[in-house]
Amino acid sequence: MYKVIDIPGLVPFVQKYISSGWEGISTFSILVVIAFLAASYLLPKELERRNLEPSHADWLLILGVFGTFVGAKVFFIFEIWDQIFVDTPGFDGKYLYPLTHADGFPGRPGLWSSLFSGSGLVFYGGFLFGILFISLYMIQNKLDVKSYLDATIPSMALGYAIGRLGCFVSGDGCYGFATHQHIPLLTFTYWPTSAVPSGVPVWNTPVMEAFVSFLFFIYFQKWARFQNFKKFSLGAQYLILHGLARLAIEFLRVNKAVIPFFDPPVQSNIPGATGETTTFLNGYYWHGFSQSQYVSIAIILVGIYFLVKWKLWEKEPVPA
């Protein structure tokens, strides 16, 4: 007989934050699965082509996906930190209250409810944690970290492109602010049932990022991986290319500045689905580097550092 372990409060927690209100599989989830399947097809083939061990592909993918979701949630909490831990009249315990109350302060996102919700994912958190998890796996198994990371780059670029399309079809929060330009695919008016309905044309930043990342995938898949560059050249190139693309697109996105260079918009926090989104998006503008832009600059510098230090533009000598 199996003994059922009863953890006090676990069932109500699961019912409230994991199983309640489920309305079926979302389009974002479907595209995430497609991205995973695409990577699971490409990665073993690339490992085999490089005379590496394809048997490690499954663990690299699983740990990469797991690390991506963990890191994306952790960075999301840092991004909305000022909305969770606030000075609210009538409430004592700015830091204690969100820790002990799953929903946080009334009318604001809660710490625990945000952590375990289906929305709220910050890419760079997932990117860094994903690399960390698979790097630890490779170190633990005494694998050639540089070579294995290079092998993952085409799959990573493709997975990111598909994931950004998932953000677009779900109407998630990676959209741009309002614009009077009318450029096919580059501007878009989100439908009323999206996560944050706009009712006004906005910069279609998810599709922009998806398109650029597809170009990166073609570059790495069709050309760069056959050039016999030194180990980790593809990794360093991807850090630089992706960092530059993300840095540029962030100028059009709705994202709060870490340290504002200009006066921020009057309504600086992203409103909920019932908020006055039209006014908010029309009044939004870039007012300083966001968290993602600072991370972009950091990974660009890291990529340049390794590129120069190890002269990664050079090619490995061809065996006689």
Q: What is the pLDDT along the chain (320 residues), one digit of tens a residue?
A: 333 334 444 445 434 444 444 455 667 788 888 999 999 999 999 999 999 999 999 999 999 989 888 888 888 887 777 778 877 666 666 777 788 878 877 777 888 877 877 666 777 778 888 899 999 999 999 999 999 999 999 999 999 999 888 888 877 667 888 898 888 888 988 766 666 666 788 899 999 999 999 999 999 999 999 999 999 999 999 999 999 999 999 999 988 888 899 998 876 555 655 556 777 788 889 999 998 899 999 999 999 999 999 999 999 987 65
Residue 169 in domain: no
CA 141, 49, 68, 129 torsion-angle sign: positive
CA distance 195 to 170: 7
pTM here is 0.83
Residue 112 in domain: yes
Question: Which structural domain, as residue segments, surrounds residue 105?
Answer: 53-143
Closest-CA residue to 119 (of 13, 193, 196)? 196
Query: Is the Cβ–Cβ distance between 153 and 235 less than 8 Å?
Result: yes
Residue 136 in domain: yes
Residue 244 in domain: no
Give the list of residues 6+ apart from residue 210 with CB closer than 8 angstroms, or none: 161, 162, 164, 165, 168
What letter does residue 15 receive in the DSSP assignment? I
Strands (E), 140-225: 187-188, 202-203
**How many domains, the chain?**
1
Residue 113 in domain: yes
Q: Specify the 3-state DSSP secondary structure of 117.
A: coil
Give the list of residues 6+ apart from residue 32 with CB closer than 8 angstroms, or none: 162, 163, 166
Residue 158 in domain: no
Residue 281 in domain: no
Residue 224 in domain: no
Helices (H), 171-273: 205-222, 233-249
164 labelled ligand-binding:
yes
Determine the pLDDT at residue 192.
63
CA distance 171 to 179: 17
Query: What's the N-to-C CA distance of the chain in angstroms?
Result: 65
